[in-house]
Structure 1
Amino acid sequence: MIDFSVIIPARYASSRLPGKPLLMLAGQPMLAHVYQRACASEAKRVVIATDDERIAEVGVGLGAQVCMTSSTHASGTDRLQEVVSQLDWYADEIVVNVQGDEPQIPPKLINQVAHHLAAEPNAGMATLAEPIQDYATWVNPNAVKVALNAAGMALYFSRAPLPWVRDAPPNTQQSLPENFPFYRHLGLYAYRVHLLNQFVTWPPAPLEMAEQLEQLRALYQGVGIYVGITHQSPPAGIDTWDDYQRVKQALESTSA
Protein backbone atom coordinates (compact mmCIF):
# COMPACT_ATOMS: atom_id res chain seq x y z
CA MET A 1 0.00 0.00 0.00
CA ILE A 2 1.30 3.45 -0.87
CA ASP A 3 0.24 6.88 0.32
CA PHE A 4 -1.44 9.04 -2.27
CA SER A 5 -4.26 11.55 -2.48
CA VAL A 6 -6.87 12.30 -5.13
CA ILE A 7 -7.96 15.78 -6.15
CA ILE A 8 -11.11 16.21 -8.25
CA PRO A 9 -11.16 19.56 -10.07
CA ALA A 10 -14.79 20.48 -10.75
CA ARG A 11 -15.78 23.67 -12.60
CA TYR A 12 -19.26 24.96 -13.20
CA ALA A 13 -18.41 27.18 -16.20
CA SER A 14 -17.68 24.54 -18.83
CA SER A 15 -17.93 26.13 -22.28
CA ARG A 16 -19.56 23.09 -23.90
CA LEU A 17 -21.73 21.86 -21.03
CA PRO A 18 -22.17 24.43 -18.23
CA GLY A 19 -22.86 23.03 -14.78
CA LYS A 20 -21.99 19.47 -15.76
CA PRO A 21 -20.70 18.34 -12.32
CA LEU A 22 -24.26 18.91 -11.04
CA LEU A 23 -26.09 17.09 -13.85
CA MET A 24 -28.09 14.18 -12.51
CA LEU A 25 -27.07 10.61 -13.29
CA ALA A 26 -29.04 7.68 -11.84
CA GLY A 27 -30.41 9.88 -9.07
CA GLN A 28 -27.15 11.56 -8.07
CA PRO A 29 -25.13 14.53 -9.33
CA MET A 30 -22.30 13.57 -11.64
CA LEU A 31 -19.83 14.76 -9.00
CA ALA A 32 -21.15 12.19 -6.54
CA HIS A 33 -20.34 9.34 -8.93
CA VAL A 34 -16.80 10.65 -9.48
CA TYR A 35 -16.25 11.14 -5.76
CA GLN A 36 -17.51 7.64 -4.93
CA ARG A 37 -15.22 6.10 -7.56
CA ALA A 38 -12.25 8.00 -6.13
CA CYS A 39 -13.15 6.91 -2.59
CA ALA A 40 -13.24 3.29 -3.80
CA SER A 41 -9.55 3.58 -4.73
CA GLU A 42 -6.68 3.18 -2.27
CA ALA A 43 -6.34 6.96 -1.84
CA LYS A 44 -5.89 8.08 1.76
CA ARG A 45 -7.95 11.22 1.07
CA VAL A 46 -10.07 12.70 -1.69
CA VAL A 47 -10.44 16.46 -2.11
CA ILE A 48 -12.91 18.26 -4.37
CA ALA A 49 -11.48 21.50 -5.81
CA THR A 50 -13.95 24.02 -7.19
CA ASP A 51 -14.53 27.71 -7.77
CA ASP A 52 -18.32 27.48 -7.44
CA GLU A 53 -20.40 27.51 -4.26
CA ARG A 54 -23.09 25.27 -5.80
CA ILE A 55 -20.54 22.53 -6.45
CA ALA A 56 -18.98 23.08 -3.03
CA GLU A 57 -22.38 22.61 -1.39
CA VAL A 58 -22.86 19.28 -3.15
CA GLY A 59 -19.35 18.21 -2.14
CA VAL A 60 -19.97 19.03 1.51
CA GLY A 61 -23.23 17.11 1.32
CA LEU A 62 -21.25 14.08 0.18
CA GLY A 63 -19.04 14.38 3.24
CA ALA A 64 -16.09 15.39 1.08
CA GLN A 65 -13.26 17.73 1.90
CA VAL A 66 -13.81 20.73 -0.38
CA CYS A 67 -11.20 23.31 -1.31
CA MET A 68 -12.35 26.60 -2.85
CA THR A 69 -10.01 27.77 -5.61
CA SER A 70 -9.64 30.71 -7.97
CA SER A 71 -11.97 31.12 -10.92
CA THR A 72 -9.13 32.37 -13.14
CA HIS A 73 -7.13 29.15 -13.52
CA ALA A 74 -6.22 28.31 -17.11
CA SER A 75 -6.17 24.56 -16.48
CA GLY A 76 -6.95 21.82 -14.01
CA THR A 77 -3.24 21.55 -13.23
CA ASP A 78 -3.23 25.12 -11.94
CA ARG A 79 -6.23 24.28 -9.75
CA LEU A 80 -4.44 21.22 -8.36
CA GLN A 81 -1.41 23.30 -7.48
CA GLU A 82 -3.52 25.81 -5.59
CA VAL A 83 -5.01 22.97 -3.54
CA VAL A 84 -1.66 21.44 -2.58
CA SER A 85 -0.41 24.91 -1.69
CA GLN A 86 -3.46 25.76 0.44
CA LEU A 87 -3.29 22.43 2.26
CA ASP A 88 0.53 22.57 2.56
CA TRP A 89 1.15 19.04 1.35
CA TYR A 90 4.73 17.86 1.48
CA ALA A 91 6.96 17.95 -1.60
CA ASP A 92 6.99 14.21 -2.34
CA GLU A 93 3.25 13.66 -1.81
CA ILE A 94 1.68 11.82 -4.75
CA VAL A 95 -1.49 13.40 -6.12
CA VAL A 96 -3.80 11.82 -8.70
CA ASN A 97 -5.92 14.19 -10.78
CA VAL A 98 -9.36 12.65 -11.36
CA GLN A 99 -11.45 14.82 -13.65
CA GLY A 100 -14.88 15.82 -12.38
CA ASP A 101 -16.53 14.68 -15.61
CA GLU A 102 -15.52 11.01 -15.45
CA PRO A 103 -18.29 9.33 -13.45
CA GLN A 104 -17.35 5.85 -14.64
CA ILE A 105 -13.61 5.94 -13.98
CA PRO A 106 -12.40 2.54 -12.68
CA PRO A 107 -10.80 2.85 -9.22
CA LYS A 108 -8.15 0.31 -10.32
CA LEU A 109 -6.79 2.83 -12.83
CA ILE A 110 -6.46 5.46 -10.10
CA ASN A 111 -4.46 2.98 -8.06
CA GLN A 112 -2.36 1.93 -11.04
CA VAL A 113 -1.18 5.40 -11.99
CA ALA A 114 -0.31 6.23 -8.37
CA HIS A 115 1.66 3.00 -7.95
CA HIS A 116 3.57 3.63 -11.17
CA LEU A 117 4.72 7.04 -9.95
CA ALA A 118 5.68 5.67 -6.54
CA ALA A 119 7.82 3.02 -8.24
CA GLU A 120 9.62 5.51 -10.50
CA PRO A 121 11.64 7.97 -8.38
CA ASN A 122 13.08 9.63 -11.51
CA ALA A 123 9.64 10.50 -12.85
CA GLY A 124 7.88 13.71 -11.91
CA MET A 125 4.61 12.46 -13.36
CA ALA A 126 2.94 9.21 -14.35
CA THR A 127 0.08 8.54 -16.71
CA LEU A 128 -1.54 5.63 -18.55
CA ALA A 129 -1.92 4.42 -22.12
CA GLU A 130 -3.66 1.54 -23.85
CA PRO A 131 -2.78 -0.39 -27.00
CA ILE A 132 -4.38 0.96 -30.17
CA GLN A 133 -6.29 -1.77 -31.95
CA ASP A 134 -7.68 -0.01 -35.02
CA TYR A 135 -6.62 2.35 -37.77
CA ALA A 136 -9.39 4.87 -37.10
CA THR A 137 -8.07 5.55 -33.58
CA TRP A 138 -4.50 5.84 -34.84
CA VAL A 139 -5.37 8.61 -37.29
CA ASN A 140 -7.98 10.37 -35.11
CA PRO A 141 -6.58 13.73 -33.85
CA ASN A 142 -8.85 13.52 -30.80
CA ALA A 143 -7.09 10.32 -29.74
CA VAL A 144 -3.70 11.34 -28.34
CA LYS A 145 -0.87 8.98 -29.15
CA VAL A 146 2.32 8.43 -27.13
CA ALA A 147 5.72 6.98 -27.99
CA LEU A 148 7.79 5.35 -25.24
CA ASN A 149 11.43 4.58 -24.56
CA ALA A 150 12.73 1.23 -23.32
CA ALA A 151 12.10 2.20 -19.69
CA GLY A 152 8.47 3.10 -20.29
CA MET A 153 9.06 6.85 -20.20
CA ALA A 154 7.26 9.12 -22.64
CA LEU A 155 9.27 10.31 -25.62
CA TYR A 156 6.47 12.38 -27.15
CA PHE A 157 2.69 12.82 -27.22
CA SER A 158 0.90 13.80 -30.41
CA ARG A 159 -2.49 14.08 -32.05
CA ALA A 160 -0.89 12.83 -35.26
CA PRO A 161 -0.37 9.12 -36.00
CA LEU A 162 2.62 8.25 -33.83
CA PRO A 163 5.00 6.80 -34.77
CA TRP A 164 4.69 7.03 -38.53
CA VAL A 165 5.88 3.78 -40.13
CA ARG A 166 7.80 4.96 -43.18
CA ASP A 167 8.17 1.61 -44.90
CA ALA A 168 4.64 0.34 -44.33
CA PRO A 169 2.81 -0.55 -47.56
CA PRO A 170 0.16 1.86 -48.86
CA ASN A 171 -2.77 1.65 -46.48
CA THR A 172 -5.63 0.93 -48.84
CA GLN A 173 -7.32 -1.37 -46.30
CA GLN A 174 -7.18 1.18 -43.45
CA SER A 175 -5.42 -1.29 -41.18
CA LEU A 176 -2.66 -0.63 -38.67
CA PRO A 177 0.92 -1.34 -39.76
CA GLU A 178 1.84 -4.77 -38.48
CA ASN A 179 4.23 -5.79 -35.71
CA PHE A 180 4.48 -2.44 -33.95
CA PRO A 181 3.01 -1.31 -30.60
CA PHE A 182 0.88 1.82 -30.95
CA TYR A 183 -0.50 3.44 -27.79
CA ARG A 184 -3.34 5.83 -27.05
CA HIS A 185 -2.78 8.12 -24.11
CA LEU A 186 -5.39 8.10 -21.34
CA GLY A 187 -5.69 11.46 -19.60
CA LEU A 188 -5.21 10.27 -16.03
CA TYR A 189 -2.19 11.76 -14.24
CA ALA A 190 -0.29 11.33 -11.00
CA TYR A 191 2.10 14.09 -9.89
CA ARG A 192 4.52 14.75 -7.09
CA VAL A 193 3.69 17.99 -5.31
CA HIS A 194 7.07 19.55 -6.06
CA LEU A 195 6.45 19.00 -9.78
CA LEU A 196 3.07 20.75 -9.55
CA ASN A 197 4.75 23.69 -7.86
CA GLN A 198 7.29 23.91 -10.69
CA PHE A 199 4.79 23.32 -13.47
CA VAL A 200 2.73 26.43 -12.81
CA THR A 201 5.84 28.64 -13.05
CA TRP A 202 6.66 27.49 -16.59
CA PRO A 203 5.23 29.31 -19.60
CA PRO A 204 3.32 27.24 -22.15
CA ALA A 205 5.79 25.48 -24.46
CA PRO A 206 5.73 25.88 -28.25
CA LEU A 207 5.02 22.16 -28.67
CA GLU A 208 2.20 22.38 -26.14
CA MET A 209 0.59 25.28 -27.97
CA ALA A 210 0.91 23.54 -31.35
CA GLU A 211 -0.63 20.26 -30.23
CA GLN A 212 -2.82 21.71 -27.44
CA LEU A 213 -1.46 19.08 -25.06
CA GLU A 214 -0.47 20.39 -21.65
CA GLN A 215 1.75 17.40 -20.79
CA LEU A 216 4.18 18.55 -23.49
CA ARG A 217 5.10 21.48 -21.21
CA ALA A 218 6.58 18.97 -18.77
CA LEU A 219 8.46 17.08 -21.48
CA TYR A 220 9.77 20.37 -22.88
CA GLN A 221 11.20 21.17 -19.45
CA GLY A 222 12.90 17.76 -19.20
CA VAL A 223 10.45 16.15 -16.76
CA GLY A 224 10.25 12.36 -16.91
CA ILE A 225 6.72 11.05 -17.49
CA TYR A 226 6.27 7.34 -16.82
CA VAL A 227 3.54 5.72 -18.93
CA GLY A 228 1.89 2.60 -17.57
CA ILE A 229 0.12 0.31 -20.02
CA THR A 230 -3.38 -0.80 -19.15
CA HIS A 231 -5.77 -3.12 -20.90
CA GLN A 232 -8.76 -1.76 -18.97
CA SER A 233 -10.00 1.08 -21.11
CA PRO A 234 -11.95 3.64 -19.07
CA PRO A 235 -15.31 4.78 -20.41
CA ALA A 236 -15.13 8.20 -22.05
CA GLY A 237 -15.81 11.25 -19.91
CA ILE A 238 -18.61 13.74 -20.44
CA ASP A 239 -17.87 16.79 -22.60
CA THR A 240 -21.12 17.31 -24.49
CA TRP A 241 -24.86 16.87 -24.07
CA ASP A 242 -24.71 13.73 -26.22
CA ASP A 243 -22.01 12.31 -23.93
CA TYR A 244 -24.22 13.05 -20.94
CA GLN A 245 -27.19 11.26 -22.47
CA ARG A 246 -25.04 8.23 -23.32
CA VAL A 247 -23.61 7.91 -19.80
CA LYS A 248 -27.00 8.64 -18.20
CA GLN A 249 -28.57 5.79 -20.13
CA ALA A 250 -25.70 3.45 -19.25
CA LEU A 251 -25.81 4.21 -15.52
CA GLU A 252 -29.57 4.11 -15.27
CA SER A 253 -29.73 0.77 -17.06
CA THR A 254 -27.09 -0.60 -14.67
CA SER A 255 -28.94 0.60 -11.56
CA ALA A 256 -32.38 -0.51 -12.77
Structure 2
Amino acid sequence: MLDDFLIRAALAGVGVAVAAAPLGCFVVWRKMAYFGDATAHAAILGVALSLALSTSIFVGALAVALVMALAVSTLSERRYAIDTLLGVLAHSALAFGLVAVSFISGVRLDLMAYLFGEILAVTVTDLVVIWGGAALVLALIGWRWSAMLTATLNRDLAYASGIDPRREQLILTVSLAIVVAVAIKVVGALLIAAMLIIPAATARPISKTPEIMAALAAVIGAASALLGLRLSFLYDTPTGPTIVCVAALLFAASNLLGLARRSA
Protein backbone atom coordinates (compact mmCIF):
# COMPACT_ATOMS: atom_id res chain seq x y z
CA MET A 1 0.00 0.00 0.00
CA LEU A 2 2.82 2.40 0.87
CA ASP A 3 4.31 1.91 -2.60
CA ASP A 4 1.64 4.31 -3.92
CA PHE A 5 2.95 7.87 -3.65
CA LEU A 6 -0.59 9.24 -3.19
CA ILE A 7 -1.17 6.97 -0.21
CA ARG A 8 2.10 8.13 1.35
CA ALA A 9 1.18 11.77 0.67
CA ALA A 10 -2.27 11.32 2.23
CA LEU A 11 -0.81 9.68 5.35
CA ALA A 12 1.77 12.46 5.63
CA GLY A 13 -0.88 15.17 5.36
CA VAL A 14 -3.08 13.54 7.98
CA GLY A 15 -0.06 13.04 10.27
CA VAL A 16 0.85 16.72 10.12
CA ALA A 17 -2.79 17.73 10.68
CA VAL A 18 -3.11 15.50 13.74
CA ALA A 19 0.11 16.92 15.22
CA ALA A 20 -0.68 20.55 14.42
CA ALA A 21 -4.35 20.62 15.49
CA PRO A 22 -4.15 20.71 19.31
CA LEU A 23 -0.99 22.80 19.17
CA GLY A 24 -2.68 25.22 16.79
CA CYS A 25 -5.47 25.71 19.31
CA PHE A 26 -2.98 26.94 21.90
CA VAL A 27 -1.34 29.16 19.29
CA VAL A 28 -4.75 30.75 18.56
CA TRP A 29 -5.73 31.06 22.24
CA ARG A 30 -2.39 32.64 23.17
CA LYS A 31 -2.35 34.88 20.06
CA MET A 32 1.01 33.40 19.02
CA ALA A 33 0.51 33.33 15.23
CA TYR A 34 3.77 35.14 14.52
CA PHE A 35 5.56 32.92 17.03
CA GLY A 36 4.75 29.89 14.86
CA ASP A 37 5.75 31.81 11.74
CA ALA A 38 9.16 32.76 13.16
CA THR A 39 9.85 29.17 14.23
CA ALA A 40 8.88 27.86 10.80
CA HIS A 41 11.08 30.37 8.97
CA ALA A 42 14.03 29.37 11.13
CA ALA A 43 13.70 25.81 9.85
CA ILE A 44 15.20 26.87 6.49
CA LEU A 45 18.41 27.78 8.29
CA GLY A 46 18.28 24.33 9.89
CA VAL A 47 17.96 22.72 6.46
CA ALA A 48 21.00 24.62 5.21
CA LEU A 49 23.09 23.64 8.23
CA SER A 50 22.02 20.00 7.89
CA LEU A 51 23.13 19.89 4.27
CA ALA A 52 26.42 21.62 5.06
CA LEU A 53 27.15 19.18 7.90
CA SER A 54 25.72 16.13 6.07
CA THR A 55 23.27 15.40 8.88
CA SER A 56 19.56 14.62 8.98
CA ILE A 57 17.27 17.39 7.69
CA PHE A 58 14.83 16.60 10.47
CA VAL A 59 17.49 16.97 13.17
CA GLY A 60 18.78 20.25 11.75
CA ALA A 61 15.33 21.77 11.30
CA LEU A 62 14.29 20.63 14.78
CA ALA A 63 17.43 22.02 16.43
CA VAL A 64 17.22 25.46 14.82
CA ALA A 65 13.44 25.71 15.26
CA LEU A 66 13.85 24.85 18.92
CA VAL A 67 16.61 27.44 19.39
CA MET A 68 14.44 30.08 17.71
CA ALA A 69 11.38 29.21 19.79
CA LEU A 70 13.37 29.25 23.03
CA ALA A 71 15.01 32.56 22.11
CA VAL A 72 11.64 34.18 21.39
CA SER A 73 10.16 32.84 24.64
CA THR A 74 13.11 34.08 26.69
CA LEU A 75 13.28 37.52 25.13
CA SER A 76 9.51 38.04 25.32
CA GLU A 77 9.63 37.46 29.07
CA ARG A 78 12.19 40.28 29.35
CA ARG A 79 9.62 42.80 28.08
CA TYR A 80 10.87 43.12 24.51
CA ALA A 81 8.13 44.23 22.11
CA ILE A 82 7.00 40.80 20.98
CA ASP A 83 5.58 41.80 17.58
CA THR A 84 8.77 43.67 16.65
CA LEU A 85 10.95 40.87 18.00
CA LEU A 86 9.12 38.22 15.99
CA GLY A 87 9.25 40.32 12.83
CA VAL A 88 13.01 40.76 13.14
CA LEU A 89 13.79 37.14 14.03
CA ALA A 90 11.41 35.54 11.52
CA HIS A 91 12.69 37.41 8.49
CA SER A 92 16.30 37.35 9.64
CA ALA A 93 16.26 33.58 10.11
CA LEU A 94 14.69 33.05 6.69
CA ALA A 95 17.19 35.39 5.03
CA PHE A 96 20.20 33.78 6.73
CA GLY A 97 18.87 30.37 5.74
CA LEU A 98 18.48 31.33 2.08
CA VAL A 99 21.95 32.92 2.01
CA ALA A 100 23.48 29.86 3.71
CA VAL A 101 21.92 27.60 1.09
CA SER A 102 23.68 29.56 -1.67
CA PHE A 103 27.09 28.71 -0.15
CA ILE A 104 26.50 24.97 -0.25
CA SER A 105 28.34 23.47 -3.21
CA GLY A 106 28.06 19.98 -4.59
CA VAL A 107 24.52 19.50 -3.23
CA ARG A 108 21.46 19.65 -5.44
CA LEU A 109 18.81 21.48 -3.44
CA ASP A 110 15.24 22.12 -4.51
CA LEU A 111 14.65 25.23 -2.45
CA MET A 112 11.00 25.50 -3.48
CA ALA A 113 10.34 22.10 -1.94
CA TYR A 114 11.45 23.36 1.49
CA LEU A 115 9.63 26.68 1.14
CA PHE A 116 6.29 25.33 -0.12
CA GLY A 117 6.49 21.62 0.61
CA GLU A 118 6.86 18.49 -1.49
CA ILE A 119 4.26 16.16 -0.08
CA LEU A 120 4.19 13.97 -3.22
CA ALA A 121 7.84 13.06 -2.64
CA VAL A 122 7.32 11.77 0.91
CA THR A 123 9.06 8.45 1.56
CA VAL A 124 8.27 5.67 4.00
CA THR A 125 11.11 6.98 6.21
CA ASP A 126 9.51 10.43 6.14
CA LEU A 127 6.22 8.86 7.23
CA VAL A 128 7.92 7.24 10.20
CA VAL A 129 9.39 10.62 11.21
CA ILE A 130 6.10 12.47 10.70
CA TRP A 131 3.96 10.02 12.64
CA GLY A 132 6.63 9.56 15.31
CA GLY A 133 6.72 13.34 15.78
CA ALA A 134 2.91 13.51 15.79
CA ALA A 135 2.73 10.81 18.47
CA LEU A 136 5.29 12.67 20.60
CA VAL A 137 3.43 15.99 20.28
CA LEU A 138 0.09 14.38 21.12
CA ALA A 139 1.66 12.66 24.13
CA LEU A 140 3.10 15.97 25.40
CA ILE A 141 -0.13 17.88 24.86
CA GLY A 142 -2.25 15.10 26.36
CA TRP A 143 0.02 14.87 29.39
CA ARG A 144 -0.08 18.61 30.08
CA TRP A 145 -3.48 19.52 28.61
CA SER A 146 -5.16 20.75 31.80
CA ALA A 147 -2.07 22.59 33.04
CA MET A 148 -1.43 24.25 29.68
CA LEU A 149 -5.06 25.24 29.37
CA THR A 150 -5.08 26.79 32.85
CA ALA A 151 -1.83 28.67 32.14
CA THR A 152 -3.30 29.91 28.86
CA LEU A 153 -6.53 31.16 30.40
CA ASN A 154 -5.11 32.84 33.50
CA ARG A 155 -1.50 32.96 34.72
CA ASP A 156 -2.53 33.98 38.22
CA LEU A 157 -4.94 31.05 38.45
CA ALA A 158 -2.14 28.77 37.22
CA TYR A 159 0.21 29.96 39.96
CA ALA A 160 -2.55 29.53 42.55
CA SER A 161 -3.06 25.95 41.32
CA GLY A 162 0.64 25.13 41.64
CA ILE A 163 1.26 25.33 37.89
CA ASP A 164 4.32 27.11 36.50
CA PRO A 165 3.26 28.94 33.29
CA ARG A 166 6.89 29.13 32.15
CA ARG A 167 7.17 25.34 32.23
CA GLU A 168 3.98 25.00 30.20
CA GLN A 169 5.32 27.57 27.74
CA LEU A 170 8.48 25.48 27.39
CA ILE A 171 6.47 22.35 26.63
CA LEU A 172 4.46 24.27 24.05
CA THR A 173 7.69 25.60 22.54
CA VAL A 174 9.22 22.12 22.24
CA SER A 175 6.01 20.78 20.69
CA LEU A 176 5.95 23.62 18.18
CA ALA A 177 9.56 22.93 17.14
CA ILE A 178 8.72 19.23 16.60
CA VAL A 179 5.71 20.09 14.43
CA VAL A 180 7.78 22.48 12.33
CA ALA A 181 10.47 19.84 11.81
CA VAL A 182 8.03 17.13 10.71
CA ALA A 183 5.85 19.44 8.59
CA ILE A 184 8.54 21.12 6.51
CA LYS A 185 8.56 18.27 3.97
CA VAL A 186 4.77 18.34 3.63
CA VAL A 187 3.75 22.00 3.39
CA GLY A 188 7.08 23.85 3.54
CA ALA A 189 8.42 26.53 5.86
CA LEU A 190 6.24 29.32 4.48
CA LEU A 191 2.97 27.40 4.94
CA ILE A 192 3.51 25.59 8.26
CA ALA A 193 2.05 28.46 10.26
CA ALA A 194 -1.06 28.36 8.08
CA MET A 195 -1.66 24.69 8.91
CA LEU A 196 -1.19 25.47 12.59
CA ILE A 197 -3.55 28.42 12.71
CA ILE A 198 -6.25 28.01 10.06
CA PRO A 199 -7.78 24.65 11.16
CA ALA A 200 -7.86 25.83 14.80
CA ALA A 201 -9.37 29.18 13.80
CA THR A 202 -11.91 27.32 11.66
CA ALA A 203 -12.98 25.11 14.56
CA ARG A 204 -13.27 27.96 17.05
CA PRO A 205 -16.66 29.47 16.01
CA ILE A 206 -18.39 26.06 16.01
CA SER A 207 -16.88 24.60 19.20
CA LYS A 208 -18.33 24.71 22.68
CA THR A 209 -15.34 23.38 24.64
CA PRO A 210 -11.56 23.43 24.19
CA GLU A 211 -11.52 19.66 23.74
CA ILE A 212 -14.10 19.80 20.97
CA MET A 213 -12.16 22.61 19.30
CA ALA A 214 -8.95 20.53 19.29
CA ALA A 215 -10.76 17.47 17.88
CA LEU A 216 -12.54 19.52 15.20
CA ALA A 217 -9.28 21.23 14.27
CA ALA A 218 -7.70 17.81 13.68
CA VAL A 219 -10.62 16.74 11.47
CA ILE A 220 -10.55 20.03 9.54
CA GLY A 221 -6.78 19.83 9.07
CA ALA A 222 -6.96 16.24 7.84
CA ALA A 223 -9.85 17.06 5.51
CA SER A 224 -7.92 20.04 4.12
CA ALA A 225 -4.89 17.84 3.48
CA LEU A 226 -6.86 15.09 1.74
CA LEU A 227 -9.08 17.38 -0.32
CA GLY A 228 -6.16 19.65 -1.20
CA LEU A 229 -4.15 16.63 -2.30
CA ARG A 230 -7.04 15.45 -4.48
CA LEU A 231 -7.58 18.85 -6.10
CA SER A 232 -3.86 19.27 -6.68
CA PHE A 233 -3.73 15.91 -8.44
CA LEU A 234 -6.79 16.71 -10.59
CA TYR A 235 -5.85 20.25 -11.60
CA ASP A 236 -2.04 20.01 -11.48
CA THR A 237 -1.60 22.77 -8.91
CA PRO A 238 1.11 23.07 -6.20
CA THR A 239 0.08 20.65 -3.47
CA GLY A 240 1.13 22.56 -0.33
CA PRO A 241 -0.53 25.85 -1.34
CA THR A 242 -3.62 23.97 -2.52
CA ILE A 243 -3.99 22.35 0.91
CA VAL A 244 -3.79 25.77 2.56
CA CYS A 245 -6.33 27.19 0.08
CA VAL A 246 -8.81 24.45 1.01
CA ALA A 247 -8.22 25.18 4.71
CA ALA A 248 -8.85 28.89 4.05
CA LEU A 249 -12.15 28.13 2.29
CA LEU A 250 -13.23 25.96 5.21
CA PHE A 251 -12.34 28.85 7.54
CA ALA A 252 -14.58 31.19 5.54
CA ALA A 253 -17.43 28.66 5.59
CA SER A 254 -17.06 28.15 9.35
CA ASN A 255 -17.22 31.87 10.06
CA LEU A 256 -20.27 32.30 7.82
CA LEU A 257 -21.94 29.46 9.72
CA GLY A 258 -21.03 31.12 13.01
CA LEU A 259 -22.53 34.43 11.85
CA ALA A 260 -25.69 32.66 10.71
CA ARG A 261 -26.06 31.00 14.13
CA ARG A 262 -25.61 34.26 16.01
CA SER A 263 -28.14 36.10 13.85
CA ALA A 264 -30.72 33.29 14.04
User: Normalised by the size of structure 2, how large is the TM-score?
Assistant: 0.26
Higher relative contact order (CA 8 A, sep 6+): 2
- Of Structure 1 and Structure 2, which has the larger fraction of its residues in helix? 2
- Of Structure 1 and Structure 2, which has the larger fraction of its residues in strand? 1
User: Normalised by the size of structure 1, how large is the TM-score?
Assistant: 0.27
